[in-house]
Structure 1
Amino acid sequence: MSYSELCIEECATIQVSLEQGLSIRKVADLLERSPSTISREVRRNRSSDGRYRVSHAQQYRHDRRVGCRPKRKLLPGGPRFALIQHMLRRRLSPEQISGKLKRMTIPDLRDAYVCRETIYSAIYALPVGE
Protein backbone atom coordinates (compact mmCIF):
# COMPACT_ATOMS: atom_id res chain seq x y z
CA MET A 1 0.00 0.00 0.00
CA SER A 2 1.46 3.37 -0.96
CA TYR A 3 1.39 6.45 1.20
CA SER A 4 0.35 9.91 0.03
CA GLU A 5 -0.04 13.03 2.13
CA LEU A 6 -3.26 14.93 2.30
CA CYS A 7 -3.22 17.83 -0.12
CA ILE A 8 -4.36 21.35 0.78
CA GLU A 9 -7.75 20.80 -0.91
CA GLU A 10 -8.38 17.68 1.18
CA CYS A 11 -7.43 19.56 4.34
CA ALA A 12 -9.85 22.35 3.41
CA THR A 13 -12.57 19.77 2.82
CA ILE A 14 -11.90 18.30 6.27
CA GLN A 15 -12.18 21.73 7.88
CA VAL A 16 -15.42 22.65 6.13
CA SER A 17 -16.96 19.21 6.69
CA LEU A 18 -16.16 19.21 10.40
CA GLU A 19 -17.58 22.74 10.76
CA GLN A 20 -20.78 21.47 9.14
CA GLY A 21 -20.97 18.70 11.72
CA LEU A 22 -20.06 15.70 9.58
CA SER A 23 -18.46 12.74 11.32
CA ILE A 24 -14.91 11.57 10.70
CA ARG A 25 -16.26 8.52 8.85
CA LYS A 26 -18.41 10.68 6.54
CA VAL A 27 -15.43 12.92 5.78
CA ALA A 28 -13.30 9.84 5.08
CA ASP A 29 -15.94 8.48 2.69
CA LEU A 30 -16.16 11.86 0.98
CA LEU A 31 -12.38 11.98 0.44
CA GLU A 32 -12.05 8.24 -0.25
CA ARG A 33 -9.53 7.94 2.56
CA SER A 34 -9.29 5.76 5.62
CA PRO A 35 -11.13 7.09 8.69
CA SER A 36 -7.93 6.59 10.70
CA THR A 37 -6.09 8.92 8.30
CA ILE A 38 -8.65 11.67 8.81
CA SER A 39 -8.78 11.10 12.56
CA ARG A 40 -4.98 11.26 12.83
CA GLU A 41 -4.86 14.44 10.72
CA VAL A 42 -7.46 16.15 12.91
CA ARG A 43 -5.85 14.97 16.16
CA ARG A 44 -2.33 16.06 15.13
CA ASN A 45 -3.24 19.44 13.75
CA ARG A 46 -5.79 20.99 16.06
CA SER A 47 -5.31 24.64 16.91
CA SER A 48 -5.15 25.86 20.50
CA ASP A 49 -8.94 26.21 20.63
CA GLY A 50 -9.33 22.53 19.68
CA ARG A 51 -10.65 23.16 16.17
CA TYR A 52 -9.10 21.89 12.95
CA ARG A 53 -7.78 24.73 10.78
CA VAL A 54 -6.03 24.29 7.44
CA SER A 55 -3.55 27.08 8.13
CA HIS A 56 -2.51 25.50 11.42
CA ALA A 57 -2.32 22.05 9.82
CA GLN A 58 0.02 23.31 7.10
CA GLN A 59 2.24 25.11 9.61
CA TYR A 60 2.40 22.11 11.96
CA ARG A 61 3.22 19.80 9.04
CA HIS A 62 6.01 22.13 7.92
CA ASP A 63 7.44 22.37 11.45
CA ARG A 64 7.46 18.59 11.87
CA ARG A 65 9.10 18.06 8.50
CA VAL A 66 11.86 20.63 9.08
CA GLY A 67 12.75 19.04 12.40
CA CYS A 68 13.30 15.57 10.97
CA ARG A 69 15.45 16.50 8.01
CA PRO A 70 19.23 16.39 8.46
CA LYS A 71 21.13 19.63 8.11
CA ARG A 72 23.26 20.03 4.99
CA LYS A 73 26.97 19.54 5.57
CA LEU A 74 28.24 21.52 2.59
CA LEU A 75 26.80 25.01 2.53
CA PRO A 76 28.39 27.48 0.11
CA GLY A 77 30.36 30.06 2.03
CA GLY A 78 31.07 27.77 4.98
CA PRO A 79 34.57 26.78 6.13
CA ARG A 80 34.07 23.10 5.20
CA PHE A 81 32.90 24.11 1.72
CA ALA A 82 35.94 26.37 1.28
CA LEU A 83 38.28 23.57 2.37
CA ILE A 84 36.74 21.14 -0.12
CA GLN A 85 36.88 23.76 -2.88
CA HIS A 86 40.58 24.26 -2.14
CA MET A 87 41.19 20.51 -2.34
CA LEU A 88 39.25 20.25 -5.60
CA ARG A 89 41.37 23.05 -7.08
CA ARG A 90 44.44 20.99 -6.13
CA ARG A 91 42.98 18.29 -8.41
CA LEU A 92 42.01 15.84 -5.68
CA SER A 93 39.09 13.54 -6.43
CA PRO A 94 36.06 13.45 -4.12
CA GLU A 95 37.19 10.00 -2.95
CA GLN A 96 40.63 11.37 -2.03
CA ILE A 97 39.09 14.39 -0.29
CA SER A 98 36.75 12.28 1.83
CA GLY A 99 39.69 10.05 2.78
CA LYS A 100 41.82 13.05 3.78
CA LEU A 101 38.98 14.62 5.76
CA LYS A 102 38.51 11.39 7.66
CA ARG A 103 42.15 11.52 8.82
CA MET A 104 42.35 15.30 9.44
CA THR A 105 41.84 16.85 12.87
CA ILE A 106 40.93 20.50 12.48
CA PRO A 107 39.75 22.21 15.68
CA ASP A 108 37.47 24.67 13.87
CA LEU A 109 35.85 21.96 11.76
CA ARG A 110 34.60 19.31 14.12
CA ASP A 111 33.15 16.42 12.22
CA ALA A 112 34.74 17.71 9.03
CA TYR A 113 34.22 14.37 7.30
CA VAL A 114 31.98 14.48 4.25
CA CYS A 115 31.33 11.41 2.11
CA ARG A 116 32.21 11.40 -1.57
CA GLU A 117 28.53 11.41 -2.62
CA THR A 118 27.98 14.69 -0.76
CA ILE A 119 31.02 16.20 -2.49
CA TYR A 120 29.79 15.02 -5.88
CA SER A 121 26.34 16.51 -5.30
CA ALA A 122 27.94 19.82 -4.25
CA ILE A 123 30.09 19.84 -7.39
CA TYR A 124 27.18 19.17 -9.72
CA ALA A 125 24.88 21.58 -7.88
CA LEU A 126 27.28 24.47 -8.57
CA PRO A 127 26.85 26.53 -11.72
CA VAL A 128 29.19 25.53 -14.54
CA GLY A 129 32.64 27.09 -14.23
CA GLU A 130 32.75 27.58 -10.46
Structure 2
Amino acid sequence: MGRRKLSFGDRSEIATGTKAGWSVRRIARHLGRCPSVISREIRRNSTKTRGYQAVGADVAAQRRRARPQRRKVAADPVLKARVDADLAASWTPNQISGRLRLEAADPTVERMANSPDAKGRTISGEAIYQYIYALPRGELARRGIMLPSKRTRRRPRSIGRSRGGPIVAMVPLPARPGR
Protein backbone atom coordinates (compact mmCIF):
# COMPACT_ATOMS: atom_id res chain seq x y z
CA MET A 1 0.00 0.00 0.00
CA GLY A 2 1.52 3.32 -1.09
CA ARG A 3 1.63 6.46 0.95
CA ARG A 4 -1.19 8.71 -0.08
CA LYS A 5 -3.23 11.25 1.82
CA LEU A 6 -6.71 10.41 2.99
CA SER A 7 -9.25 12.11 0.75
CA PHE A 8 -12.57 13.54 1.85
CA GLY A 9 -14.22 10.44 0.35
CA ASP A 10 -12.01 8.22 2.52
CA ARG A 11 -12.91 10.26 5.58
CA SER A 12 -16.63 10.03 4.84
CA GLU A 13 -16.26 6.23 4.50
CA ILE A 14 -14.47 6.16 7.87
CA ALA A 15 -17.30 8.21 9.41
CA THR A 16 -19.91 5.87 7.93
CA GLY A 17 -18.00 2.80 9.12
CA THR A 18 -17.60 4.09 12.68
CA LYS A 19 -21.30 4.98 12.88
CA ALA A 20 -22.16 1.48 11.62
CA GLY A 21 -20.01 -0.01 14.38
CA TRP A 22 -17.34 -1.47 12.12
CA SER A 23 -13.94 -2.28 13.56
CA VAL A 24 -10.85 -0.34 12.53
CA ARG A 25 -9.55 -3.37 10.64
CA ARG A 26 -12.80 -3.78 8.73
CA ILE A 27 -12.79 -0.09 7.70
CA ALA A 28 -9.13 -0.40 6.67
CA ARG A 29 -9.86 -3.50 4.59
CA HIS A 30 -12.83 -1.73 2.96
CA LEU A 31 -10.66 1.29 2.02
CA GLY A 32 -7.57 -0.77 1.13
CA ARG A 33 -5.51 1.06 3.73
CA CYS A 34 -3.36 0.06 6.68
CA PRO A 35 -5.29 -0.27 9.97
CA SER A 36 -2.81 2.04 11.72
CA VAL A 37 -3.72 4.86 9.30
CA ILE A 38 -7.42 4.48 10.10
CA SER A 39 -6.81 4.14 13.83
CA ARG A 40 -4.61 7.27 13.89
CA GLU A 41 -7.16 9.23 11.85
CA ILE A 42 -10.02 8.31 14.19
CA ARG A 43 -7.96 9.04 17.31
CA ARG A 44 -6.78 12.44 16.01
CA ASN A 45 -10.14 13.70 14.83
CA SER A 46 -12.77 12.26 17.18
CA THR A 47 -14.52 14.22 19.90
CA LYS A 48 -16.15 12.80 23.00
CA THR A 49 -19.55 14.26 22.22
CA ARG A 50 -19.84 13.99 18.43
CA GLY A 51 -17.44 11.16 17.59
CA TYR A 52 -15.71 11.16 14.20
CA GLN A 53 -16.99 13.77 11.74
CA ALA A 54 -15.62 13.69 8.17
CA VAL A 55 -15.89 17.45 7.49
CA GLY A 56 -14.18 18.44 10.75
CA ALA A 57 -11.48 15.84 10.20
CA ASP A 58 -10.77 17.10 6.68
CA VAL A 59 -10.53 20.72 7.82
CA ALA A 60 -8.22 19.75 10.70
CA ALA A 61 -5.99 17.74 8.35
CA GLN A 62 -5.68 20.68 5.94
CA ARG A 63 -4.78 22.96 8.83
CA ARG A 64 -2.08 20.52 10.04
CA ARG A 65 -0.64 20.28 6.52
CA ALA A 66 -0.40 24.06 6.09
CA ARG A 67 3.06 25.32 5.19
CA PRO A 68 5.25 26.90 6.33
CA GLN A 69 4.89 25.46 9.79
CA ARG A 70 6.14 27.47 12.75
CA ARG A 71 9.06 25.78 14.47
CA LYS A 72 9.09 25.67 18.24
CA VAL A 73 12.25 27.78 18.49
CA ALA A 74 11.07 30.39 15.99
CA ALA A 75 7.65 30.68 17.63
CA ASP A 76 9.00 31.34 21.14
CA PRO A 77 11.10 34.52 21.50
CA VAL A 78 12.59 33.39 24.84
CA LEU A 79 13.82 30.08 23.40
CA LYS A 80 14.99 31.79 20.21
CA ALA A 81 17.14 34.26 22.16
CA ARG A 82 18.62 31.47 24.29
CA VAL A 83 19.33 29.16 21.35
CA ASP A 84 20.86 31.98 19.29
CA ALA A 85 23.11 33.05 22.19
CA ASP A 86 24.26 29.49 22.90
CA LEU A 87 24.89 28.74 19.21
CA ALA A 88 26.98 31.91 19.01
CA ALA A 89 28.96 30.57 22.00
CA SER A 90 29.80 27.45 19.90
CA TRP A 91 27.47 25.07 21.71
CA THR A 92 26.01 22.17 19.75
CA PRO A 93 22.21 21.76 19.57
CA ASN A 94 22.37 18.64 21.76
CA GLN A 95 24.44 20.46 24.38
CA ILE A 96 21.94 23.32 24.41
CA SER A 97 19.05 20.88 24.76
CA GLY A 98 20.74 19.02 27.62
CA ARG A 99 21.60 22.23 29.45
CA LEU A 100 18.02 23.52 29.17
CA ARG A 101 16.71 20.22 30.55
CA LEU A 102 19.18 20.40 33.43
CA GLU A 103 18.23 23.99 34.27
CA ALA A 104 14.51 23.17 34.12
CA ALA A 105 14.86 20.08 36.34
CA ASP A 106 17.16 21.58 39.00
CA PRO A 107 16.48 25.18 40.07
CA THR A 108 19.83 25.39 41.90
CA VAL A 109 21.74 25.12 38.60
CA GLU A 110 22.75 28.55 37.37
CA ARG A 111 22.55 29.41 33.70
CA MET A 112 25.70 29.85 31.66
CA ALA A 113 27.34 33.25 31.26
CA ASN A 114 26.00 35.34 28.35
CA SER A 115 22.94 33.09 28.06
CA PRO A 116 19.48 34.63 28.54
CA ASP A 117 17.12 32.94 30.99
CA ALA A 118 15.00 30.24 29.34
CA LYS A 119 12.35 30.47 32.11
CA GLY A 120 12.13 26.71 32.52
CA ARG A 121 11.49 25.96 28.86
CA THR A 122 13.03 22.89 27.25
CA ILE A 123 13.51 21.78 23.67
CA SER A 124 14.99 18.79 21.87
CA GLY A 125 18.22 18.88 19.93
CA GLU A 126 16.33 17.84 16.79
CA ALA A 127 14.02 20.88 17.09
CA ILE A 128 17.09 23.12 17.30
CA TYR A 129 18.56 21.45 14.20
CA GLN A 130 15.26 22.01 12.35
CA TYR A 131 15.40 25.69 13.34
CA ILE A 132 19.00 25.98 12.15
CA TYR A 133 18.40 24.26 8.80
CA ALA A 134 15.25 26.34 8.17
CA LEU A 135 17.30 29.55 8.29
CA PRO A 136 18.03 31.19 4.93
CA ARG A 137 21.25 30.17 3.21
CA GLY A 138 24.23 32.05 4.59
CA GLU A 139 22.44 33.19 7.75
CA LEU A 140 24.57 30.96 10.00
CA ALA A 141 27.77 32.48 8.63
CA ARG A 142 26.41 36.03 8.98
CA ARG A 143 25.70 35.35 12.65
CA GLY A 144 29.13 33.83 13.12
CA ILE A 145 27.72 30.42 14.01
CA MET A 146 29.75 27.36 13.04
CA LEU A 147 28.39 23.89 13.76
CA PRO A 148 30.98 21.25 14.70
CA SER A 149 30.19 19.33 11.52
CA LYS A 150 30.58 22.55 9.48
CA ARG A 151 27.42 21.55 7.62
CA THR A 152 24.96 24.29 6.69
CA ARG A 153 22.48 21.94 5.03
CA ARG A 154 21.07 18.60 6.08
CA ARG A 155 22.72 15.62 4.49
CA PRO A 156 20.25 13.43 2.58
CA ARG A 157 19.84 9.89 3.77
CA SER A 158 21.71 7.37 1.70
CA ILE A 159 19.24 4.90 0.26
CA GLY A 160 20.32 1.54 -1.07
CA ARG A 161 24.01 1.88 -0.29
CA SER A 162 25.69 -0.61 1.97
CA ARG A 163 28.07 0.69 4.63
CA GLY A 164 31.02 -1.50 3.74
CA GLY A 165 32.22 -3.98 1.23
CA PRO A 166 31.53 -7.70 1.23
CA ILE A 167 33.11 -9.88 3.91
CA VAL A 168 35.99 -11.78 2.33
CA ALA A 169 36.18 -15.54 3.04
CA MET A 170 33.01 -15.51 5.14
CA VAL A 171 32.16 -18.83 6.79
CA PRO A 172 28.42 -19.36 7.40
CA LEU A 173 27.31 -20.24 10.94
CA PRO A 174 26.35 -23.88 10.21
CA ALA A 175 29.79 -24.52 8.69
CA ARG A 176 31.69 -23.23 11.75
CA PRO A 177 33.11 -25.71 14.26
CA GLY A 178 31.37 -26.09 17.65
CA ARG A 179 32.93 -25.02 20.91
TM-score by length of 2: 0.36
TM-score by length of 1: 0.49
Q: Using CA pairs below 8 Å that are at least 6 residues apart, which structure has the higher relative contact order?
A: 2
Q: Which of the two has higher C-alpha Rg?
A: 2
